[in-house]
Amino acid sequence: MIQEQADAVLGHPVHPDSNVFVRILEWLPLPEIIPGWVVTFGGVMLGMSIFLAVMSVLVMFCVWLERKVSGHIQCRTGPMYAGGWHGWAQSLADGVKLLLKEDMIPKDADRTLFWIAPAIVLGSIFGAMVAFPLSYDWWFGRMDLGVFAILALSSTTTIGVVMAGWASASKWSLYGAMREAAQVVAYEIPLGLSLLAPLFVLGTFSLTEASAMQSGWFGMKWAIFTNPFLLPAFLIYVVAALAETKRAPFDLPEAESELVAGFMTEYSGIRWSFFFFEEYAAMLLMSVLGAFFWFGGFESPLTGALRASGMEDTSLVFSLVCFGTVLFKGFVGIFLMMWLRWTLPRVRIDQVMTMGYKYLTPLALFCVLGAASWEALQHLIFS
């Protein structure tokens, strides 16, 4: 029913039957002698490379942004030299440095686990990112249950973190891993519950459909404006997302003044940068997810105006606007996370647990109930 509704809103099916990989393959002038499986394999590889490149650039931009934001919050300028204009190439320079650094493994470390851990962390977070549509027309993996995929894959990073902490053969790392495990388990529940509230309102697990459902009111029929229970749900989501992404004030697994980087104490060079990447990728993930389910996803007055001017949803300009809109919303969220990090002190582990289990979980349940009741009432009254 929802899909039909969404299709009706957009005037065409929200999932065109092709994804970015297939498009690339169709676009390439390939001679016919190449066997089909080679084409498919090559296409997937190419698509993955593009995907990784896009995401990596975004993450690098996040890192640069964090430095600039923290710098300006702290009355500094942040990076200014690398690349010339406001140190735009700082992340690239750091990346080169990290690649060239010695990759050290402690003598007592469990080498296998030590090697696998960063891969799991990075792999799962990029895996979760596959579920994101870039616009109504562009996407990498078709996911009707996109939210589930994102939540499931993004919490897999915890396994990598615990592995890293255990394999490092350092007590401080183990502490970091323990804290990560405890914290993520505690906050997975309110995170999922708080997401349930907009899911009730929007009636879909698919991100594209969720966005399409919010396209009314000249692109401003955002979920958060349609149901009073979604604002508290969003606040819970913000707190839970901060805890999930290990961002201050919930950066206990890293806690540089207590555990001195926690689970990644023993990592160096490019392996360490995987964890670093994961942190920013997770921030992007959580911000964009919030944008999709509370703040209209691709929708904004700009898309409203384009639609009013008769532009097709599948056109290139419209897709670019959609992509830009969702990225902008995501970066607003990321900026908020950075702002909080550079302002607030860190909470203590028992306070984290208390907040997660005793306050956020019941509150999130209440929000779900409230949002669902509100929707039911609306149905009763208006239909």
Partner 1 sequence: MSNSTSNTPEKDHKSSYRAEERRTLSSGEEEFFFDVKTSDMEVNMGPQHPATHGVMRVLIRCDGELVTGSQVHLGYLHRCAEKIGENVEWLQYLPYTDRYDYLAAMNNNLGYSMAVEALMPGLEIPRRAVLLRTINVELNRIASHLVAYGTYGLDIGAITPFLYAFREREWIQALFEKICGARLTYSYIRIGGVFNDAPPGWLKEVGHFCDVFEEKWKEYRDLLALNHIFIKRTAHVGVIPKDMAIDFGLTGPMLRGSGVDFDLRRDMPYMAYGEAYEAGAFKVPVGSGEKGELGDSWDRFYVRVEEMMESIKLVRWCLGVIEDGPIIGEIPKVIKVPAGEAYVGIENPRGELGHYVHSDGGKVAVRCRVRGPSFTNIAVVEELMPGTLLADSVAIIGSTDIVIGETDR
Q: Does 336 bind partner 1 (CB under 8 A)?
A: no
Three-state DSSP at 313 gives: coil
Binding mask 242-271 for partner 1 (x = CB under 8 A): ------xx-xx--xxxx-x-----------
* Calpha distance 7→236 (Å, rounded): 31
In contact, 281 and 55? CB cutoff 8 Å? yes
- For tokens 């001017």, name the residue: 309
Please list, in sequence order, all residues whose beta carbon lies within 8 angstroms of the beta carbon of residue 178, skipping any fewer than 6 positions away: 165
CB of 169 to partner 1, least distance (A): 4
Is residue 172 a contact point for partner 1 (CB under 8 A)?
yes
Interaction of residue 344 with partner 1, rule CB under 8 A:
yes
Per-position b or e across 69-91, b if 16+ CB within 10 A of its CB: bebeeeeeebbeebeeeebebbb
Beta carbon of residue 104, minimum distance to partner 1 (angstroms, whole number): 15
Of 139, 346, 360, 361, the one binding partner 1 (CB under 8 A) is 346
Q: Decide whether 39 or 349 has the Cβ nearer to partner 1.
A: 349
Peptide bond into 362 cis (omega under 30): no
Residues of span 25-84 touching partner 1 by CB under 8 A: 70, 73-76
CB of 347 to partner 1, least distance (A): 6
With contacts defined by CB under 8 A, name the span among 84-92, 168-176, 300-308, 330-338 that binds partner 1: 168-176
Integer Cα distance of 181 and 79 in angstroms: 34
Nearer to partner 1, 9 or 241 (CB): 241
Return the number of the residue (69 or 321) whose C-beta is nearest partner 1: 69
> Min. distance of Cβ 248 from partner 1 in angstroms?
6
User: CB of residue 171 vs partner 1: minimum separation in angstroms?
Assistant: 5
**Smallest gap, in angstroms, from Cβ of residue 182 to partner 1?**
9
Secondary structure (H, E, C), 227-255: CCCHHHHHHHHHHHHHHHCCCCCCCCCCC
Distance between CA atoms of residues 350 and 246, nearest Å: 15
| Nearest approach, Cβ of residue 345 and partner 1 (Å) | 4
- CA distance linking residue 369 with residue 364, whole number of Å: 9
Q: How many CB atoms lie within 10 A of CB 310?
A: 6
Of 82-90, 303-311, 342-350, 367-375: span binding partner 1 (CB under 8 A):
342-350
**Residues 51, 139, 175, 318: which binds partner 1 (CB under 8 A)?**
175
For residue 190, give the nearest of 354, 326, 338, 345 by alpha carbon: 354
Q: Is the dihedral of CA 115, 283, 141, 49 positive or negative?
A: negative
Which is nearer to partner 1, 144 or 258 (by Cβ)? 258
Is 348 one of the binding residues for partner 1 (CB under 8 A)? Answer: yes
Which residues would be at the binding site for partner 1 (CB under 8 A)? 70, 73-76, 108-110, 166-172, 174-175, 178, 248-249, 251-252, 255-258, 260, 342-351
